[in-house]
Structure 1
Amino acid sequence: MDALDGQCWILTLSCEDRSGIVSKVTGYLHEIGGNIMEAQQFRDPETNRFFMRVEFEIANSTGVEQFESFGNPAAEFDMRWRFRRRDQAKKVLILVSRFDHCLSDLLYRRRIGELKMDIVGIISNHPGDNLHLPMRDKIPFHHFPVSKDSKPQQEAQIRDVIERTGAELVILARYMQILSDDMARYLRGRCINIHHSFLPGFKGARPYHQAYQRGVKMIGATAHFVTSDLDEGPIIEQDVEQVSHSDMPEDLVTKGRNIEQRVLSRAVRYALEDRILPNGRKTVVFRR
């Protein structure tokens, strides 16, 4: 436990920027006996929106109902806000196709405690025998094949798993299927995809081959929220690596795997720690 031997909570909020927001928030936390451990804020000058994330500890807190009185200052500033216990692991569902390097990386980081998440299931459109899952432990695995004609039924199966498990976050760990518009809307704001390209360039299929044809000197990967617009969702995290004129498409694929793993793991960690706040077509990410 932390310094006060109490419970650590995370408050996230956004609203139209006005004078007095920080004072109101910190004053409220002081009144209820909270000790602020980390605080970050940002004002978007384009939209005049204000974003804030606060970690604080409070002694003898019993539950989120303790913070119901925050509704008064929140209403004054018309805030979107949420309290969550920091040690409460989020329920995560992972979707994967044939390439399992991102999945294996997430499972490893979970096993060593780097990513604190409760993985409630793994879904693949390929049989489990095709995936290398030495660290799956007792995580339920679901094989849901999909074809052009069966996509509605297959997505209904995925929805059923989400509803039954209470999954709060869905990760597309190289899940090489385009979600329907209905499914994308259903998962809005809670589904992260890893795209093996530095978006907005080289969208769609075979981006490394597209990059090779353009003779790029740098490749990258992008983690973003899923929307009904293919590879157009709000960007969460990106990274790049230099390549040379002698690299063939297969070399770009090989080098890209490492980038995909680290970009996706960082984005997932931000989501698990409530460090991502939506901002229209963009995101505010409060990195540590």
Structure 2
Amino acid sequence: MKAVNMEDRLREFKESQKNRGRLLISCPDRPGIVAAVSKFLFQFGANILESNQYSTNPQGGTFFIRLEFECPDLAAKEAILKKRFEEVAKSFSMDWQMTAVQNVKRTAIFVSKELHCLRELLWEWQTGDLMTDIVMVVSNHEEARETVESFHIPFHYIPANREIREEAEAKQKQLLKEYDVDLIVLARYMQILTPSFVEAYERKIINIHHSFLPAFVGAKPYERAFQRGVKLIGATSHYVTNDLDEGPIIEQDTMRVDHKDQVQDLKKIGAKIERSVLTRAVKWHLADRIIVHENKTIIF
């Protein structure tokens, strides 16, 4: 029944958003950018519903803008819109991305033994607050199977460790291709990905790190935070790169702790932060609200 409800919800969303588009742009800042983009959309009968912009420096900096617009018969016009916009983009040296909102992104979740982030994502998805198509969950352990299959989502158990990493990733890549996945969410997936895997899905892998990066990079951050006697603990969600835990940061949060809190207390508090931080990061990505610039993010 839950699966049917989600299918109905996705159909309703796609129908309601069939003429809605999004445009993300970054380019060297100069006069006329907004005017040129607005004129272009007007020529196709589009109405701009939301516009957010930012410049690192009006004098020679980089300009960023996110537009959401309504365009009659967008599905029929999408290809020509993109082709014609190439002329505008070239004249302003733009990096750009245009998406149709009804093309809901297909998400795969990777998880190991700790399930709190997975459960949060599934709950948000079930209630309709995480608008994506969760097409599968992959795990190197069996702990998540019952939870995932109760949502009628395909669960794939693929053992993974340092010795068989490339073999495991070959199976994962095959599944990602079969399911036509747009986004990979590492919901406490406790394996390091190989460089070739990361490069194949650049800016399409979101991780949650159980530390307020750059503090306590790597393994066992709560144990090290306890030894250091920190008064704030946190979590960081970021895009995965081949620099361990140093990819562009999407979202962070913290909570206060004190001398009475032991390692297990820190982990329990940290799990709450991890759930909310990862969910916000995933929602922003799904809504095309993130532009990566160098090793930072601009989030509208």
TM surpasses 0.5: yes
Q: 1:48-102: per-residue Cα shift (whole Å, max 9, x none)?
A: 2211110011122224214121111111012121221223210001100000110
With over 3 angstroms needed to count, the CA separation of the structure-2 counterparts of 1:49 and 1:5, relative to structure 1, is: closer
Partner AA of 1:76 in structure 2: S
Q: Which consecutive residues of structure 1, in runs of 5 or more, have no partner in the other structure?
A: none
- Asked whether 1:121 is paired with 2:136, we answer yes
Match of 1:31 in 2: 43
Match of 1:226 in 2: 240
Say which is worse superposed, 172-181 or 132-141, in terms of deviation: 132-141
Partner AA of 2:186 in structure 1: L
With over 3 angstroms needed to count, the CA separation of the structure-2 counterparts of 1:227 and 1:136, relative to structure 1, is: farther
Length-normalised TM-score, structure 1: 0.93
With over 3 angstroms needed to count, the CA separation of the structure-2 counterparts of 1:141 and 1:135, relative to structure 1, is: closer
Q: What is the DSSP-based 3-state SS (H/G/I as helix, E as strand, rest coil) of the residue aligned with 2:163?
A: coil
With over 3 angstroms needed to count, the CA separation of the structure-2 counterparts of 1:276 and 1:5, relative to structure 1, is: closer
1:29 CA drift (Å): 1.2
1:44 CA drift (Å): 2.0
Aligned-pair identity in percent equals 41
Q: Which consecutive residues of structure 2, in runs of 5 or more, have no partner in the other structure?
A: 1-12
1:237 CA drift (Å): 0.4
With over 3 angstroms needed to count, the CA separation of the structure-2 counterparts of 1:58 and 1:244, relative to structure 1, is: same
Q: Are the equivalent residues in 1 in contact too, given 2:113–2:141 (CA < 8 A)?
A: yes
Give 2:67's match in structure 1, choosing from 34, 54, 59. 54
Say which is worse superposed, 139-148 or 193-202, in terms of deviation: 139-148
1:131 CA drift (Å): 5.2
- Indicate the RMSD between aligned Cα atoms, in angstroms: 1.9
Q: Are the equivalent residues in 2 in contact too, given 1:8–1:86 (CA < 8 A)?
A: yes
Whole-Å Cα distance in 2 between the matches of residues 121 and 41 of structure 1? Answer: 35
- Asked whether 1:79 is paired with 2:91, we answer no
With over 3 angstroms needed to count, the CA separation of the structure-2 counterparts of 1:125 and 1:47, relative to structure 1, is: farther
**How many positions carry a matched residue from both structures?**
283
- Asked whether 1:260 is paired with 2:260, we answer no
- Asked whether 1:151 is paired with 2:176, we answer no
Where has structure 1 moved over 6 Å in runs of 4 or more? none
With over 3 angstroms needed to count, the CA separation of the structure-2 counterparts of 1:180 and 1:118, relative to structure 1, is: same
More helix by proportion, 1 or 2? 2
Whole-Å Cα distance in 1 between the matches of residues 148 and 18 of structure 2? Answer: 37
